[in-house]
A = this chain, B = another copy of it.
Amino acid sequence: MLTERQLFILQLLINDYIQTAEPVGSRTISKREDVTFSSATIRNELADLEEMGYIEKTHSSSGRVPSEKGYRFYVDNLLSPPVLSKNEVNNIQSLFAERMVEVEKVIQQSAGILSELTQYTSIILGPEVFETKLRQIQIIPLSKDTAVVILVADSGHVENRTMKIPPSVSMSDIEKVVNIMNERLKDVPLISLKSTMMKEMATVLKKHIENYNEVNMMLENLFLYTNAEKVYYGGKTNILTQPEFKDINKVRLLLNTFEQDEVMYNVLRPEKNGIEVKIGQENDLEAMQNCSIVTADYFIEGKRMGSIALLGPTRMEYQRSMGILGFLANDLTRTLTDRYQSFKHW
């Protein structure tokens, strides 16, 4: 168990290190005005804290640096509830005051604000297709053997893909299929479009359509990609300003990871509700083992729709980051729920 004083010293040390990125020595701590005991006492305490694994030395005569265990303890036990500055609150609220029409834009802007306020990299996972439902499906022919299929979701999200039409399938068949789809698939969640289609439509299609097999193949291809959520970034290169990223190879590794959406999905899919912090090695990805990620979820009508995150060095301003992130997640939840209800109850 840690004594009061050890807690205090650990807190001071981590705060100092977060600011300076330099190992913190006993003298530095003792010079603070709210510290009454001497550097020698602090040395003793530091030795104990080190023995317990909360702090480390970079070399035998260096100051101390928080270990990951130390950060974990700090985040779990030593943070006071975050207070946002007026400026920060204004910044965020003026964003939502704008009442932008497009969800994509709201999210992109949120990412921008997050990274601007924190100087870290912000990552937002767009609303999951999970909950959005099909509003309408349309097919527009482009040439004798290609057409564009357009799916409109009730969230206003539009997806389109170009597809090849086998020669054996006639345009009137296609029209029939589309009509049937619009009847049967309306309000089906995008995510289960494929399975619902296979179940619900097979018999109907067989009855009305000549070339059932070709059509079926075509439709299978159409819904092949569960077109996953988009990942939005703000301040992608902000993280490069951190001294821990002077090594260009780390940078490359990280930036490459950013490009792989599938990988990022997993990074952002939090394991528990609320604000979650992953510190250093707690991240599975090699590229992120010098980083910490703070994630929060946003909701629509109480259902989790996506998440927003801040990526910084392990030496991250956790308190402030968590505060800003939580606040924005709330506003995002409120805004999107409002909007969704206006769509739904229409």
- A positions within 8 Å CB-CB of B: 101-103, 135-136, 138, 140, 142-146, 148, 150, 152, 154, 156, 158, 160-164, 236-237, 240-241, 245-246, 248, 251-252, 255-256, 259, 342-343, 346
Given contacts A101-B164, A237-B252, 16 further A-B pairs with CB under 8 A are: A101-B162, A102-B161, A102-B162, A138-B140, A142-B154, A143-B342, A145-B342, A146-B156, A148-B152, A150-B150, A150-B152, A236-B259, A237-B256, A240-B251, A240-B252, A248-B251
Partner of A144, one of B140, B240, B248, B342: B342
Contact A346-B101, Cβ < 8 Å, known A156-B148, A251-B240, A256-B237: no
CB A250 to nearest CB in B, in angstroms, measures: 10
Taking the nearest CB of chain B, how far is it from the CB of A187, in angstroms? 13
Q: How many identical subunits does the complex contain?
A: 2
Contact between B140 and A135 (Cβ–Cβ < 8 Å)? yes
A55–B142 alpha-carbon span in the complex (Å): 55
A162 contact set on B, CB distance < 8 A? 101-103, 156
Please, which residues of chain B bring their CB within 8 A of the CB of A144? 342, 346
Closest to A100 in B: B162
Closest to A256 in B: B237
> Is A156 within 8 A of B138, CB to CB?
no
Q: How far is the CA of A224 from the CA of B163 in the complex (A)?
A: 30
Contact A143 B237 (CB under 8 A): no
- Minimal Cβ-Cβ distance residue in B for A233: B259
A156-B148, A248-B240 as given contacts; A343 in contact with B135, CB under 8 Å: no
Contact between chains at B160 and A158 (CB < 8 Å): yes
The reply to whether A146 and B101 contact each other, CB–CB distance below 8 Å, is yes
Q: Give the residue name and chain of the B residue nearest to A104 (CB).
A: B162
**A156 neighbours in B (Cβ, 8 Å):** 142, 146, 148, 162
Instruction: Please indicate the chain B residues that have their CB under 8 angstroms from the CB of A252 in the complex.
Output: 237, 240-241
In contact, B101 and A343 (Cβ under 8 angstroms) = no
**How distant is A146 from chain B, measured CB to nearest CB, in Å?**
6
- Residue on B nearest A247 in the bound complex, by CB: B248
A101: B residues at CB distance < 8 A: 146, 162-164
